[in-house]
Structure 1
Amino acid sequence: MEKAKIRLLPAVLAAGIMSFSGVLIETAMNVTFPTLIKEFSISTSTVQWVTTIYLLVISIMVPFSNYLIKNFSIRKLFIIANLFFIAGLITDFVSPTFIILLLGRILQGISTGIALPLMFHIILTFTPIQKRGGMMGVGTLTTSIAPAIGPTYGGLLTSILSWHYIFLFLIPILLLSLCLGLYAIPEIQVEKSSFLDVISLLGIGLLFSGLLVFLNQIGTLNSLIPLLIGLAGLAIFLHQAAKTSQPLVKIDVLKNKVFVLFLCGFLVCQFLLLGISFVLPNFVQIVSGENAFVAGLVMLPGAAIGAILAPISGRVLDKYGAKRPVLIGLSLAAIGWIALTILLNIPTLLGFVIAHVFYMFGIGFSYSNMMTSGMNLLTQEEYGDGNTLFNTLQQFSGAAATSIVASVINIFQQNSDDYLKGTTLGSQVAMIILLALLLMIILACLRHFRSTNK
């Protein structure tokens, strides 16, 4: 009875609009980095915290949301998340300093950290399994549309007005989300089924914070301390997971090797998405000398292709299984990525656009299907923990990718007599590192599908 009360599609869209807004700002702000560097007199490795701190907060909030979803109604959580996001938008619109800008990003991260798992929770709980691929595609579509318009949106406003207006113009979108959610999501009572494992949450916070600071400072003597803090956080989390009867996240699902394969594949796709969204817009502005608007336009066609393919690829999965869309998608992504890496030596805007479209065509077929295929391997009792792992590690991997790419580029910029040549070489090295991860996942997936013959 209770499940029938929810209006599924508008409910997914309402939560998805918040996730969309978060990804939109994330990709919109990436093209403003050269502007922010000049305005606040900061370095490349510092400016990336606009994205990294946002993703860090989401990484910590998603496991916490696993507890929240088990103990509070989805309607209440939706409203709270929406209000946090609006508060973050207002904070960043008026922010006079870099620190205030980061504060607003933290508020937005809290909201998105609730909205993302909430959206997938609604899909997994209320959608029949035979239609799940299509609905997961719809859910992914709301977030994958954002990278299609984010860089152009951010570049246009930065060039015409100011980066502050990136936040102002999203307030009506969040109000639309709020109205849609109030209409579609009923008040469904939840039987409280778990307590909050504060020690595990502390461990996750130390783990992700320590590792991200380590990645940001990699190559310096100061990087050892945050690495040790991160490892201590991991030890705390694993100890609690084994000790307590109701851990924040049950990691037993990681015993399923095929689930782990699809999880890793999904995370590598996220690495690539966030990596290229940092490398390409900054390269086009710094090396090619174009403005933020042009840098955004370069990303637009490819991101649009990825967004369009998200729901289509889900239906392909429902009809044919995971093998075709995943293997074809990853192979096309690798070809496009190699082309982008080569083009950094002979940069042409049209070449970047074509290679990025090719790469995003592959990501469109493989990205969301990795998550759907992994989640389909779990029982209904494991959905919450599987969903938490996917969404938590998705955000952390995005933050890690941004930190790694920014740190690599920054190292080459500082150690080169020619800033432009340093930027080019650093960008290529960062792309090659991520390409190695993609090739390893392709080989692992080939081995799996050959062994199962599916």
Structure 2
Amino acid sequence: MIVIVFFLGIFNLKLQPFAKEDRFDFCGFGLLALILFLVDYTFNRSAKVGFLSWNFWGLLLISVLLMIGFYVYNRHSSRHLVDFSIFKNNIVSWHLLGYFLLQFINIGLSFVIPQVAQYILGQNAFIAGMILLPGALLGVVVAPLAGRWMDRLQTPLPIVVGHVIFLIGAALFIIYDQQLTVAFLIGFYFLLRLGFNLAFGNTISHASVQVQPKQKADINATFNMTQQYAGSLGTNIFAAIIGVYQLQHIDLRISTAQGALTDYWLIAVLAIIGLFAAWISYRQTMQKK
């Protein structure tokens, strides 16, 4: 599908640069793609070799060095893949952090829940997948209502409320870790998705009005890339954590439960950071009024 959209865009979209000297930054694109791939691959390997392996830390070090190289390149290059000046606006930066964490947790947890259902609760693959369905369908109803609510308020308060509900849903996985049932999994994920849908779409909408019209394409590109990558990285990291526990060669049910609990704690910590980011952006928005 992505390949089809790519070629449709090439042959049907005729976008003129704002300045004649503007050209696509192929070097920056290649370097950024390499960094994103390597970080993903690093955590994918950790599920097999463990987080204490020199293999993991070596790959992570290379990733960090490439990130530094990309930063230096972007500072001195005449071409820029994305106009990073958009991040001089603190509201945009905080929104991007919250946006990343929402999707990171959302997609990562979508991997963890079926693992818990199958290996801990003994459910089959069909039931494990169906647990996610009510929460997934919730977005069809909530997302447009959340946008309408923020339009009426003319403030990003729904984003903060969404993060609060999101955090409550995340905390319930920890509180009821020893008593989890299929019904609890459905309910907690449903609550978490309610918070997600209140905040997610509104976050990029509010970020886009913070910049000049000519920078809206940079906002869209940055946030959409972040959305895709956060899901990929979230799945990799949460899967790696469970995989590391399963490497201990103990009972699969016990190791999966231990890995899932670690994932729940990580989710809760990240949800707190996301709420903090949403609150800061809300405060700064209200101060500008």
Q: 1:284 to 1:229 in 2, by over 3 A?
A: same
Counterpart for residue 69 of structure 2: 236
Are positions 1:386 and 2:219 aligned together? yes
- 1:240–1:247 contact (8 Å) kept in structure 2: no
Aligned-partner Cα distance in 2 for 1:411–1:79: 37
Q: Equivalent residues in 2 for 1:351-390 (5 A)?
A: 351-390=184-223
Secondary structure at 1:430's aligned position in 2? helix
Q: 1:438 to 1:188 in 2, by over 3 A?
A: closer
Counterpart for residue 290 of structure 1: 123
Number of aligned residues: 279
Are positions 1:270 and 2:116 aligned together? no
Shift of 1:213: 2.0
- 2:162–2:195 contact (8 Å) kept in structure 1: yes
Aligned counterpart for 1:197 among listed residues 17, 25, 35: 25
Q: Equivalent residues in 2 for 1:65-214 (5 A)?
A: 78=5, 80=7, 187=12, 189-191=14-16, 194-214=22-42
Q: 1:416 to 1:189 in 2, by over 3 A?
A: closer
Q: Which amino acid aligns with 1:238?
A: Y
Aligned-partner Cα distance in 1 for 2:246–2:172: 23
Secondary structure at 1:217's aligned position in 2? helix
Aligned-partner Cα distance in 2 for 1:374–1:267: 13
Counterpart for residue 272 of structure 2: 439
Shift of 1:196: 2.6
Aligned-partner Cα distance in 1 for 2:79–2:103: 29
Shift of 1:301: 0.9
Shift of 1:229: 2.7
Counterpart for residue 82 of structure 2: 249
- 1:299–1:353 contact (8 Å) kept in structure 2: yes
Percent of paired sites with the same residue: 24
Secondary structure at 2:132's aligned position in 1? helix
Q: Equivalent residues in 2 for 1:23-102 (5 A)?
A: 78=5, 80=7
Deviates more, 1:263-272 or 1:341-350: 341-350
Aligned-partner Cα distance in 2 for 1:190–1:258: 28
Q: Deviations over 1:97-124 (max 9, x none)?
A: xxxxxxxxxxxxxxxxx8xxx9xxxxxx
Aligned-partner Cα distance in 1 for 2:6–2:223: 23
Q: Which amino acid aligns with 2:105?
A: L
- 2:102–2:274 contact (8 Å) kept in structure 1: no
With normalisation by structure 2, the TM-score equals 0.88
Aligned-partner Cα distance in 1 for 2:76–2:254: 52
Specify every segment of 5 or more residues in structure 2 that has no aligned partner in the other structure, as ranges.
Answer: none
Higher relative contact order (CA 8 A, sep 6+): 2
Counterpart for residue 258 of structure 1: 91
Shift of 1:78: 3.7
Shift of 1:231: 2.2
Aligned-partner Cα distance in 1 for 2:16–2:156: 39
Q: Which amino acid aligns with 1:209?
A: F
Q: Deviations over 1:210-254 (max 9, x none)?
A: 211222234122013322332233233222322222211121111
Q: Which amino acid aligns with 1:281?
A: P
Q: Which amino acid aligns with 2:95?
A: F
Aligned-partner Cα distance in 1 for 2:160–2:195: 9
Q: 1:376 to 1:438 in 2, by over 3 A?
A: same
Aligned-partner Cα distance in 1 for 2:231–2:34: 17
Q: 1:190 to 1:209 in 2, by over 3 A?
A: closer
Counterpart for residue 302 of structure 1: 135
Q: 1:265 to 1:288 in 2, by over 3 A?
A: same
- 1:212–1:399 contact (8 Å) kept in structure 2: yes
- 2:142–2:194 contact (8 Å) kept in structure 1: yes
Secondary structure at 2:211's aligned position in 1? coil
Q: Which amino acid aligns with 2:7?
A: I
